[in-house]
Structure 1
């Protein structure tokens, strides 16, 4: 059932009433208001839970929050050359960065057209434009619906005119990423407007700027998402094809990874984006041929102590191993041993366990020889331990079941060794605990030779397709 919502004004009035009618101090009045509304099932995620500045002032002023004070200051300024404008924009950006509630409140008070107007008027003034774009990026974080056609044209124009300026480009790319996340129409409009070559060029031109490479790589990845629940069919696959085939995206990203080999945060973003682009068999092979697979193997060997990087690298290997030839390349390069080591090192990390099981599962699929390598290097044991450690994590259970099934589907001689590890009880537990895991768990039990009740979903009897 959907939670109730209230306006900021309603919440502020309750705080004010606590202070004036019940003589509470500011902190107690705020805390009591929060507790009262939450006890009534009200969603306060979009509410600024702070006492407006006027409440704490002896003067009788109109109540307002700091983010709205910053917005009012911007509305009072008439020229971008005003010395205070940049300072006011920075103040607004800082307030928006405090949380989604501040951004939401600002948007409700028409902050978007105000900030966009400053961006337009500042296009020829680098300092003011950087401050305005930073404010726009902060405001649109979590609010991609704010972006309109004027905003899209502005972003494309800025990315084109300021290609040599890494700071302005970073602010524009950051805005692009925020406005494309969970918004399919913005993605499609910006791609049609030519944002992809601008992004890939930014990575190439500013190859040594870690901050910009990381942000631009993330923006490219967001273009391949299919996360807008309002849209039945998105263009994620098509956008990936455009990045790879029309703008040489794989080589651009792999070259960037080689330039930042010692920066784990940049490498994690690059590996994650490469995995999103591996949507075709030939793309997987291209990543391998361009040195991407070798890079991932090296990262897994040299940076196994970083769980976030390990997770992203495993995700990348999982994606490119969709190609059967790449599967063999991973195994021949010692990938199985490295994956198992990573899983054992970060056994307590749910994401690493999930991706590790998924990687081994893909490598074992249709490859009995690979199954032998996985068994010999403790892959089944690592999977069983992961399932035992993360019994409440449905994705770990699903990937673990899939791996165990793939190991024995063409190598029945491995059934008993896997059962001896205690796999049957763990799979049965997953079957009983996680509804999303039922089909995979039943299939795993069946292929392991265990007794399992297989459900016949439809027999074609007891009914007719027509009346």
Structure 2
């Protein structure tokens, strides 16, 4: 392969042939042959991310052998309940779970998706190995939602509606989460089939089971994604509105949040889900009117040491603060102080710093009174410290620039405080390092700090009159 033209992609067969040649022609040990093949293709710039990087046995990989064995299992229904069947299902599930390349190649070389679906149908009919079969299917469609057909969606949705077993329900929710990720058609089809009220019922039925609630909320969030690059316009906004308006989602989520804020798993999942459905101004106000902010504040207080809960609650605070009336209410109710306490504890965590700065940016937008409250809470040294500690984290640098700009744009008297702390050097360094990410934000911060900045005039006109 030395000196050959660089490839962009190769087939699994080509990769396996190189490994075989290394073993047979160059008498390498199997692992040495595999490592050499990987190095050869990487050195030529070949993408081998979906190539199984294992030495095949008799020309086949283990996942292919297991996938092909499903045909025998499905065709021998009378002996389906044998222990060997369960072993095959679990081994296949483990192989599919281990790497996307195995899932991809199994679907490409075998009819594994339909075989696994047939296995799920049979296991349900015979009430045998049902959960294990569902787990294997769930692993298969992780990152491969296109493998599901309308028949698959119908079957699993009915199974979810009928399920009264927590473990089975958890797996079914996970299946739908995988099927809705990066697949807009599946999302729209499932919404039309009634998955939203089904998930609501599941959440309320299994509210004491953290694992089920976690997967259920993850599925709700998957329905509000806009991550399918093949679709020009997704329906994420409409799905969020349907959850809130057509199925009383806001009231039901807030009710769970208020009742179970002391449970870290529920607090984390519900707060994250609530953030995703805050797509209209009135939803933010309704959240506060229902007592949601009080539950949010209690969750942060109860789980200060649980980073996931804290971050999700801060993100939810930012989401509801896009409503000006809500912004004023939460600031009067101690939102700034709560965020400063979070920053004080998690200043070393870039993700939480970014979320807190984003929330403070929203709270101080076009509101000098709020700027005073935040500045009086000693935010300036915290911003400078975070920018210094997280100099390699673009998100922290960007949100810090946005916050500084908001704090000084209408209250210029605060500029001196930031400048004395050395904010100028930090902003200029961030702009140099992350010019493609935060150039505009950095320039805006420098401008409103009354510092010299090179502003580009992108269009100067043509000096010609407009004619009809």
Normalised TM-score (structure 1): 0.92
Give the Cα separation in 1 of the matches to 2:318 and 2:332. 15
- Which residue number in structure 2 is paired with residue 251 of structure 1? 251
The aligned counterpart of 1:200 is 200
What are the superposed Cα offsets for residues 394-430 of structure 1, whole Å, 9 maximum, x if unpaired?
Answer: 2222211111111122222212122222222222223
Per the alignment, residue 357 of structure 1 pairs with 357
Within 5 Å, give how 1:94-243 maps onto structure 2. 94-108=94-108, 109-162=110-163, 164-243=164-243
Instruction: Please point out which of 55, 60, 81 is paired with 1:83.
Output: 81
> What is residue 3 of structure 2 aligned with on the other side?
none
- Closer, same or farther in 2 for the Cα pair 1:465/1:437, shift >3 Å? farther
> Deviations 1:378-404 (Å, cap 9, x if unpaired)?
223222222222223222222111111
Name the CA distance, whole Å, in 2 between partners of 1:304 and 1:4.
Answer: 48
Question: Which residue in the other structure is 1:461 paired with?
Answer: 462
Compare 121-130 and 272-281 and name the one that shifted more: 121-130
What residue is the counterpart of 1:11 in the other structure? 15
Write the distance in 2 (CA, Å) between the matches of 1:79 and 1:256. 46
Structure 1's 126 and 347: CA in aligned 2 closer, same or farther, altered over 3 A?
A: farther
Match of 2:330 in 1: 330
Cα contact 2:380–2:417 (8 A) shared by 1: no
Gaps of 5+ in 1: 55-61
| Aligned-partner Cα distance in 2 for 1:312–1:360 | 15
Deviations 1:159-217 (A, max 9, x none): 2222x232222222111110111111111111111111111110011111110000000
Partner of 1:440: 441
Cα contact 2:262–2:299 (8 A) shared by 1: no
* Deviation sequence 1:254-309 (CA, Å, 0-9, x none): 33345554543443222211111111111112222233222221222232223332
Q: How many corresponding residue pairs?
A: 456
Aligned-partner SS, 2:124: coil
Q: How does 1:22-33 map to 2 (within 5 A)?
A: 22-33=26-37
What is the CA–CA distance in structure 2 between the aligned matches of 1:463 and 1:99, rounded to whole Å?
61
SS at 2:231's partner residue? Answer: coil
Runs of at least 5 residues in structure 2 that lack an aligned partner in the other structure:
1-5
For residue 6 of structure 1, give the secondary structure of its aligned residue in structure 2. coil
Tell me the C-alpha RMSD between the 2 structures.
Answer: 2.1
